A and B are shown apart, each in its own frame.
Chain A
Amino acid sequence: MAANLGCPSFNSSDHRPHQVGKATGYKGGAAITAGKEWMIDTGAQISCITKGNGDQFDLTLTGGSASATTGGGGILLKSGLTMSFEIFDKAGRRKSVSCSLDVGVKPNDSGSEILGMDQLDHVGAAVDWDPRAQSGRLYQV
């Protein structure tokens, strides 16, 4: 079966699902597209990007929390970013999808760029992942 998830390109011993996609938005009025490697996190109720990723775009603050993440870390909610990734449609064809829900922005650049369950739910997708084979798929449900 065709896969669209794998281990991260920068670390083949990481057994968490990743996919290369992109983030789009605006900076100084100019359209910006940045290639990203999303980590698909089934424990994330909201998608979250690092500070460095967020700073590439002009995003609009919606709100924030000093205590929303494991370990007591904070996030700022921002709008204006579109995350794009790939799913298999019901016919098994590769399909690019995008989601512009508000995202969490981390206070630093540690950790991954996280594609959370909010965005999968929004586009009607599910995740199937085999950590031993380091292979899996995002697919339309």
Chain B
Amino acid sequence: MTDREFTQWLDDEVAGNRITRLQQQDLLQQKRTFENQRTLIEQDYRNQIVGFVADQLRVSRDIHELISMCKEQYPKRMIYFEPIGFYLL
């Protein structure tokens, strides 16, 4: 999914009142932070799930562990994540 498609999807979610504009902006900001470090991330975190929350990098081998970690440290902040070198489904 391209950046444009992802942004459009979030626009549709906001328009449908399923997410807030603030959540959209936060998630897109975390995605930008991820993209800025993509090369290093793909070198250093192969076969792990890398997320950004509040501009902080978090890494786990389990998606729910990553979510729990992020929610505990930054409640209500959005997490942008990608599995590196594999897919979640």
Contact = CB atoms under 8 A, between A and B. Distances in A.
A43 B63 CA distance: 14
Contact of A43 (B53, B79, B82, B89): B89
Contact of B87 (A61, A64, A68, A77): A68
A69 interface: yes
Interface size range of chain A in the complex: 20 to 34
Interface residues of B, number: 32
A65 interface: yes
B63 A62 contact: no
A23 B78 CA distance: 24
Interface of A: 41, 43-46, 48, 54-55, 59, 61-70, 72-77, 101-102, 104, 107, 114, 116, 118
Q: Which 9 A-B pairs have the closest CB atoms?
A: A63-B79, A44-B89, A66-B6, A74-B1, A66-B1, A61-B19, A45-B88, A70-B87, A68-B88
Interface of B: 1-3, 5-6, 9-10, 13, 16, 18-19, 23, 27, 30-31, 51, 53, 62-64, 67, 70-71, 78-83, 87-89
